[in-house]
Amino acid sequence: MKKEVIFLLIFLFISSCAQKEAEEMSVTSETLEEPVVETPEETTPEEPETLLGALEPEAEEPETYDAVTQATPVSPNLIAHWKFEGNAKDSINDHDGTIFGDAIFDTGKKGKAISFDGVDDYVEFSQSTVDEFGSLSKGTIAFWFKFESLLDTQTVMPIFYFGNDKAKTTQEDIYIIEIGHFDESSFDAVATPDPNNKKIYSTWMNNNRDPFLCFDSNKNLEEDKWHHYAVVVGADGNTGYLNGVELTNRRYNFGNKNDKSFLNSISAKERLILGYGRSSYLLSPEFIYFKGTLDDFRVYDKALSTDEVKELASLS
């Protein structure tokens, strides 16, 4: 009987210990169980932007250019183009000008334009530009301009000047585009100004006092108004255009329309200037100034056609 009681007590003790151990293991298991971690949705990483892609803008549709009006490989004959958008840089080549005086940039026919005060303003170009232009046997000079007359005190107002670098010389080698001339009715040993002559002239002089080729617009131009002018020399001779219309009634003071002289006809290849120059010794022996505004100044190494000049004058 005693043995049975002892066995029963031992059994109960073992069972109690086993149950307690099982409970402790259960608690430990719950404590050590790892939490469930939600896996984020997979995303496809963006391609990293390359340095080239970051720096380069999106490609634009190429512009379509006209052979006359734009400087592209399809218009190789445009050799100089001064837009005067705040400077005297050539947008085509390296024929940049140097500005002298207090010239300002004002509202132009297209964008900005350069304005001369008629006192000390002009633009001059390098000897390399003089040499290159001096080799042209044909070509076109075209530009927009407006002017304020100084013709009560001086005989001419030079816009474009090519030739001698000296004043007061009788050996004139000059090509000049100018407003005004002189009072022909009172001409004596020295020319006097004519405030009523506001025509535009293209004049060539070489090694003497008299021009060998000179024509004018045969009509006065209105002050403070935009005009487009072009002089053209080619295989068929020379001509001029005003506001896109050929000056068929232009007046020849010297020479005729069959003359093929251009800048290479001037032997003194010394200066190229806008807004400053001189005419013959009898008209203006000193260098004098232009008062007015220039815009969209172009030089071509070919004679533009009537339609091409008309197109240039239609741009605004």
In DSSP notation, 230-265 reads: EEEEETTEEEEEETTEE-TT-EEEES-TT----GGG
Q: Which pLDDT score is estimated for 279?
A: 87
DSSP 186: G
Rg of the chain, C-alpha, whole Å = 42
pLDDT value at position 24? 46
In terms of Cβ atoms closer than 10 Å to its own Cβ (0-12, 13-18, 19+), residue 58 is exposed
Tens-binned pLDDT, residue by residue, of the chain (316 aa): 444 544 545 455 545 544 544 444 444 444 434 444 444 454 444 444 333 233 334 444 333 334 444 433 336 899 999 999 999 999 999 999 999 999 999 999 989 999 999 999 999 999 999 999 999 999 999 999 999 999 999 999 999 999 999 876 666 789 999 999 876 666 555 678 899 999 999 999 987 667 899 999 999 999 999 999 999 999 999 999 999 999 999 999 999 999 999 999 999 999 999 999 998 877 777 899 999 999 999 999 999 999 999 999 997 6
CA-CA distances (angstroms) from residue 286 to 120, 158, 262? 13, 12, 24
Tokens 């001086």 locate to 154
From the list 291, 266, 276, 279, the residue with the least C-alpha distance to 190 is 279
First to last CA, the chain: 131
pLDDT of residue 52: 29
Rounded Cα distance between 209 and 193, Å, is: 18
Cα separation of 104 and 178, whole Å? Answer: 21
Give the per-residue pLDDT at 135: 97
* 206's tokens: 């070489």
Residues 6+ apart with CB under 8 A from 8: none
Instruction: With CA atoms as reference, report the closest residue to 269 among 172, 131, 129.
Output: 131
Distance, CA of 297 to chain centre:
9
Q: How far is CA 238 from the centre of its chain?
A: 27
Instruction: Determine how many CB atoms are found less than 10 A away from the CB of residue 65.
Output: 13
